[in-house]
Each structure stands twice: as structure tokens, then as C-alpha cells.
Amino acid sequence: MPKVEHAPHKDGDVFVDYENKVFEDVKAQPGEKALVTFHTVAFEGSIGFVNLLQATRLIRKGFDTSVLLYGPGVTLGVQRGFPRLGDEAFPGHMNANRQIVKILEEGGKVYACRFALQALYGHGEQSLIPGITPINPQDVLDLILLARRDNAFILDTWTV
């Protein structure tokens, strides 16, 4: 059996060159828009949270950013907590909620489909994180078409 002859890794070690950025740091031109759509279930993998972070980055890059929660994506926008609303039951439990609040605080807009909210997941508008705008199910497609018409950057978040 081969012998391993190097010291074990320790806190503070670096495995990759994280400072080497290959591409330019793109900033929005005046008036540029972005739409990030979510058709994914909260806590079903990391993609929902990762793209909430991307939405925040788009805001910070200067894009007029909207977030669309539809289908199972509305589950990202409901208030949660345990044992009381707002309580973090385990580390990371409230990550999506806190990130949506940050998006709203930094000037982003967040929309949630009323049909998915009530018909699919049994929630009412009062269940949404304050600041999220509930929309008619027919507005889901129109919001996407408006973004397309405005030449917005569109990032779709889907899980299967």
C-alpha cells in the first residue's frame, strides 16, 4: 500500500486560486433589467438559494432586478420558522427567507403567483414574506414576456 507523505490539511489552507478572475466584472448599463425565475421547491437542493444569491449580485451590479416565484417556487417566499415564525430551527433554515428580505431591501422586486400559493400549496397572501407582491397566474407569462421585450437578462431556476 502506498504511503501518504504530506501533512494533513488545516484551517486556512487554500486549494485553489480564488483571486484569479478570468472574465471582466460586468456591470449593468443604465436601464438594464434582469429577471430571475424560480420554479423549484424550497430546500430541494441548493439551486433556489444559489440563484437568490445571484439575484442579489445582479442588483449590486446595477440591474433593475425582479424575482418571479411560481409553481413550487412560491414555497421560497412563504414566512417560516419553528417553533415560531422567524425562529431558525437549525442553522441555515432561514437562508432563503433572509435572502429574499435582502433582495427587497436592496431594491429588487419579488412576485409570487397567487394560483400556486393557494391552489397548489394551501397558503394565502398573508403567508408571504412582507414586501412580496402577489400576482395573477396570467401575469406569470406576461412578466416573462415583458422582460424579454425589454431585452432583460433572464435566469431560469428549474428543478425536475
pLDDT at residue number 42: 87
pLDDT tens for each residue of 129-146: 999 999 999 999 999 999
Please report, rounded to a whole number, the percentage of residues in the chain having pLDDT higher than 70.
Answer: 99
Mean pLDDT of the region 102-118: 98
CATH code for the structural domain at 39-158: 3.40.1260.10
The one-letter amino acid code at 66 reads S
Q: Can you give the pTM of this predicted structure?
A: 0.91
User: Has residue 39 got a pLDDT over 70?
Assistant: yes
What is the residue extent of each domain of the chain?
Answer: 39-158
pLDDT at residue number 80: 95
Collapsed DSSP state (helix, strand, coil) of residue 35: strand
Distance CA 144, CA 34 (A): 10
pLDDT at residue number 4: 84
pLDDT tens for each residue of 53-64: 999 999 999 999
Mean pLDDT of the chain: 95
Residue 82 DSSP code: S
> Could you tell me what percentage of the chain is helix, strand and coil, using 3-state DSSP and rounding each to the nearest 5?
35, 20, 50
User: Has residue 30 got a pLDDT over 80?
Assistant: yes
User: Has residue 23 got a pLDDT over 90?
Assistant: yes
**Alpha helices (H) in the chain, listed in sequence order:** 47-60, 95-105, 114-115, 137-149
Mean pLDDT of the region 82-105: 96
pLDDT at residue number 7: 86
User: Has residue 160 got a pLDDT over 80?
Assistant: no
